Every structure is written in structure tokens, then in C-alpha cells.
Amino acid sequence: MSGNLRKEDLRVVKTYIALTNALIELLNQRNFGKITVNDLCEEALISRAAFYAHFNDKYDLLNYWLGNLFEQIRNTINDETYEPLEELINTFFEMHAKVIRNLLEDANKEIVDIVHLFLYSVIDCCMEELGCERTHHNQTILINFCVGGTMRLITMQAKGRPSDDSMQISNYFYEMMTYLINWDKNQS
């Protein structure tokens, strides 16, 4: 019995990996809105039934992928410095510039909400790891402020603006996080 369960678990893991890789590959080629479940299944070499056995739709798959990315970020955060997080963000943007552009280019509300939740989790995790007090009632407002700024910077970079190619999201992210953490500490 446990042997069958283990084989099934391995199949599930392989399916999730194949679908996540298919999503990234397709986002390297075209806008998220133009990707269909059929495209994902074809790229991953799985059936539609297998897709729907694990995900409700392509947004659910996107949410799964960003959830895994968040776990990687959470494991990378160092409570002494932002540098590992900055490096992770820069590396991600360099490796996935087309993916980000194609994800956000004509983003609808559902995509914006998924990315917003992802960024909120990242910023909240940074604050937690850095030992910020979590009792201030304005913390949620400030995290959302940082998320909004970060979303705007990501969208600008994804669309190729500003024209300065040296713009690094992590630099601005660092500045927003520093402001947020200092403000939070000064409220005590």
C-alpha cells in the first residue's frame, strides 16, 4: 500500500514540476492572457484531466508557482542583511525578464491580486525575519504601501521604463523596506 502511495506522490511531484516548467516556458514566449490550459498541457506533456486534477485553472497554477518562489525567498532571507534577498530578486529579474513582462504586460485584476499577495507575503516575511514588532496597527497599511510601490517598479521595468537599463528593483525595494522598518521601530 505505501509503495503505491509513494509512486503516486512521485507522479504528482513530476506533474507539478512539468506544469510549472511549462508555465515558465510559455511565459517566455507570450503574454499570460494568451496562454491556455491546452497550451500548458501540451508543453508539459500531460492530459487536461491531469491538469484539472491538480489545478482549477491557469491562475491556480500561477499562484502555486509564486507560492514556491515565496518559499525560496523565505529560505534565503538573512536576518542580518538584505543582500541575499537583493541578489535573489536581481537574479530572478535577470533570468525571468520576459516571464515578468509577459505576466504583467496586460495584467487583469486576478493576476494583479495574485502578484500583490505574493509581494505582501515577501515584505511581511522580511519584517518578521528582521525582528520588527508586529503589533502596530499601521503595519498593514505600510506593507500595502510598499507592495504598491514595488508593483509599480516591477511593472515599469517589465515594460522597459524608465529607459535607464541600470535600474535595479532590489535597490528600490531595499529603500522601501528600510523606510518601513525604521518607521515601524520609531512607533514604539
Provide the pLDDT for residue 138: 64
Fold designation for 2-186: Tetracycline Repressor; domain 2 (1.10.357)
Provide the pLDDT for residue 15: 94
pTM: 0.77
Give the pLDDT confidence of 49-76 residue by residue, as tens digits: 999 999 999 999 999 999 998 887 777 7
Nearest to 100 by CA among 49, 150, 38: 150
Provide the pLDDT for residue 62: 95
Provide the pLDDT for residue 128: 73
Mapped onto helix, strand or coil, the DSSP state of residue 57 is coil
Provide the pLDDT for residue 163: 45
Report long-range pairs for 67-73 (Cβ below 8 Å, ≥24 apart).
67/118, 68/20, 69/118, 70/118, 70/121, 70/122, 70/125, 73/122, 73/125
What average pLDDT does the chain have? 78
Give the pLDDT confidence of 125-138 residue by residue, as tens digits: 777 766 666 656 66
Distance CA 106, CA 10 (A): 36
The mean-pLDDT minimum among 13-17, 126-130, 158-162 falls in 158-162
